[in-house]
Amino acid sequence: MRIWIDLTAPAHPVVFRPLLARLRARGHEVLVTARDYAQTLDLCRLHGIEPTVVGAHGGAGMARKAGSLAGRTARLLRRVRRFGPSLAVAHGSNDLALVARMLGVPACNTFDYEWATLQHNVGCRLARRVLVPEAIPLERLSRYGVTAERLRHYPGIKEEYYLADFAPDRGLLGRLGVDGRRTVVVVRPPPDVSLYHRRSNPLYMQVLEHIGHDDGVHAVVIPRTQAQRDALRRMALPSVIVPEGAIDGQSLIALADLVISAGGTMNREAVALGTPVYTTYGGRLGAVDEALIRNGSLRPATDVRAIEIVKHDRREPTVRRDPDTLVDLMLEAA
């Protein structure tokens, strides 16, 4: 079977890496397209994925996003029509949803955050299958036209699948200049350009100021965009390291004592890797994060003084799941 996969955000190369390997091992021919946004292309290279690059991110405004969607959709249509897929799969790519519908190709739309309203009103309505973690109930998806017939749930969280074969690169901290004798903290800024995250996030800045002058801490901040990277460097915080380009975020999390993140994927990677994690996310929490908070795996941060910034013993990953489970569910859509 010919399968088209579209990668539009930095998390996607990591998520699809083991799925691509398994699809190709089963004999499927796969076309991977990618959008030039943040570290998406760098992470493709890091994980050995060679995508066809089509388009870039539209920016922070809704009008610019709409224009970018229209332009990229047109370019994808020409490229994907030549490939002739029998199935299209993406993690929340509206470009893929539109092109697949134009070509009459069944699409599988997968995601793990249900409040990206604009995205899901397009992607879910056009998909033959909607694939989400079991924590997200149908009641939260019906507003996007999802029915019980089209919905498929998978156990656990997606991070437990793509980290199933993970082994950390133990030389990473040294290459980044991190002093492992200090408390190693990983920080992820808020997704400033996401339409579903428009609230200010003062806690993020408070965290930076708090740890950035603590000589017992070495914090590695992983910015989402070059603008965030430039702003962090202008702050010149003595205990903060800002790497250049994409890095092996999963190894960094596994080797850290603590993660403080305003993003969803990094929070859940910390949970899957057994690293203590606080969320500073300023938007509406999704069902997956709600469940992780209830079971104590994810801690909400509301006051920087309440965050325990201490050395922690290493822990084994909580659960590792077979990526073939996701592959089977995705292929059902064909």
Same domain, 290 and 222: yes
- Rounded to the nearest angstrom, the gap between the alpha carbon of residue 244 and the centroid of all alpha carbons in its chain is 19
Contacts 24+ apart (CB under 8 A), 174-179: 176/220, 176/241, 176/243, 176/247, 176/252, 177/241, 178/218, 178/220, 178/241, 179/218
Do 16 and 160 fall into the same domain? Answer: yes
Q: For position 152, which CATH number holds?
A: 3.40.50.2000
pLDDT of residue 195: 40
Domain co-membership, 146 together with 233: no
The verdict on residue 259 lying in a domain is yes
pLDDT tens by residue, 127-175: 999 999 999 999 999 999 999 999 999 999 999 999 999 999 999 999 9
Residues 11 and 159 in one domain: yes
State pTM to two decimals: 0.91
pLDDT digits (tens, 9 = 90+) for 299-317: 999 899 999 999 987 677 7
Residue 258, domain extent: 172-306
Same domain, 37 and 103: yes
Q: Report how many domains make up the chain.
A: 2
Give a yes or no: residue 315 inside a domain: no
Whether pLDDT at 183 is above 50: yes
Same domain, 142 and 85: yes
Q: Based on the domain organization, do 146 and 7 belong to the same domain?
A: yes
Same domain, 15 and 105: yes
Spell out the residues 6+ positions from residue 206 whose beta carbon is closer than 8 angstroms to its own. 304
Mean pLDDT value across residues 54-74: 66
Residue 312 within any structural domain of the chain: no
Could you tell me if residue 313 is inside a domain? Answer: no
Mean pLDDT, the chain, rounded, equals 92
In a domain, 314, yes or no: no
Which pLDDT score, from 0 to 100, does residue 200 have?
A: 58
- Are 45 and 117 within one domain? yes
Residues 15 and 148 in one domain: yes
